[in-house]
Amino acid sequence: MKVFKYIKRFLLDLNILMGYLTKLGFYNHMSDEEYLKKYKVSLGRELNLENP
């Protein structure tokens, strides 16, 4: 039953999902501007490039 809990959390938590897909290279084909736009829409905040 723990497996289902982790799968549910993975699919519903956008922070985990976005990080995992980024690590797998799912967004490699996108330009930087497209990725930043997707990041902002998915996570609801802008990526801080000044003070990461």
Q: Is residue 11 part of a domain?
A: yes
Is residue 51 situated within a structural domain? no
**Residue at 50 is within a domain:** no
Domain span at 35: 2-43
Tokens for 34?
Answer: 């497209």
Gap between the Cα atoms of 11 and 28, Å rounded = 21
pLDDT digits (tens, 9 = 90+) for 1-51: 788 888 888 788 888 888 888 899 988 998 988 888 888 877 777 878 788
49 inside domain:
no
pLDDT for res 24: 93
pLDDT of residue 21: 87
Q: Is residue 20 part of a domain?
A: yes
State pTM to two decimals: 0.59
Answer yes or no: is 21 within a domain.
Answer: yes
- Please give the tally of structural domains in the chain: 1
Residue written as token pair 């497996």: 3
| pLDDT (0 to 100) of residue 52 | 67
Does 52 reside within a domain? no
